[in-house]
Amino acid sequence: MLTSGMTRLLVAGLAAFPLMKDDGDGVGVSAQPFNYLIWADEKPRRASAVPAGGKPKVTCSYRRWWYANDLKKESANAPDPDRPLSTEQPKEGAWYEVRCSDGYRNIVWIKNRKSTAAIRERLARRAYERIPISAPKVLTAPPRGREGLVGLPHWFYLAQGEWVSKSKRLHAGGVWAEATATPQRMTVETGDGHTLVCAGPGTTYDSSRPAALQRSTCSHRYVQPAHAHRATVSVTWRGTWHGSGGAGGALPPITRSVTFPVRVVEAQALVTKG
């Protein structure tokens, strides 16, 4: 500590000859035979005038100082001032020149800290990955395992409780994020070259009611018999998240599928003489 109350910050030091003199504000650079010396006088901040009933209005700006990948706070190797600033994010931190409206100026080492926004988004993605979304449980009419008839509608619909949103919340200290997966559409590849896109889970078939009085919102009429069509039903989920501080956004969609056989036969008419 100097007697004047000023602290000298040395980034690298060897016998130096002047390259850039101190312009009176306490910051300068000297050249070394093989590198450079970056230094600054750390001056205590002068108290700013305090408006009645308010706080000092002091603003500061930070500018990345010359950066080298191997430069650390105690490093003996200073970076080259003639080298442009690296576009890579320093892993541990970097030197910054700070200038404040109250006259304060210094070169300081600032460690990297993940921003709250980045933490929230990472929590949201992790929560989204942990939402249990399995292959859809699909029912049909006629029921799966039984034969359908050519020309009659073959119903596809999801079991009860399948078409509901699912959420997961994670915390990290005072920061939190909640991800939600919401079913958006059901797609049926019928196995005979057709594709159905249904906006909902389909209509549940009620075996206690006459078939003529029921209507399906997701059905297909097969026109050719087949021992076993391979039908594939997929459900696509839309992802969203929200978190502390009112943040939120969209997440990539998730699709889960199941494939099963559908057998279709022709109706046989029995003709008798009477």
Answer for the pair 110, 62: CB distance below 8 angstroms, yes or no: yes
Pairing of strands 248-265, 148-149: parallel
Say whether 191 sits in a helix, a strand or coil: coil
pLDDT digits (tens, 9 = 90+) for 202-245: 999 998 998 889 999 999 999 988 888 899 999 999 999 999 98
Question: Which residue is listed with tokens 């009620």?
Answer: 206
By three-state DSSP, how is residue 212 classified?
helix
Backbone angles phi, psi at 119, to 5 degrees: -65, -45
* 202 close to 155: Cβ distance less than 8 angstroms: yes
- Helix residue spans in 79-196 (DSSP H): 116-129
Indicate the pairing of strand 219-221 with strand 93-100.
unpaired
pLDDT in tens, 182-205: 999 999 999 999 999 999 999 999
- The alpha-carbon radius of gyration of the chain (Å, integer) is 35
| Cβ–Cβ under 8 Å, residues 223 and 150 | yes
Q: How many residues does the chain have?
A: 274
Q: What is the pLDDT of residues 13-26, one digit of tens each?
A: 333 333 333 444 44
Which residues sit opposite 18 in a β-bridge? 30
Phi-psi region of 173 (alpha: psi -120 to 50; beta: other; left: phi over 0): left
Which residues pair with residue 233 across a beta bridge? 188, 258
User: What pLDDT is attached to residue 99?
Assistant: 81
Above 70 in pLDDT, residue 101? yes
**Domain range annotation of the chain:** 7-111, 117-265
CA distances from 3 to 6, 7, 178 (A): 7, 9, 55
Q: Are 155 and 140 in contact (CB under 8 A)?
A: yes
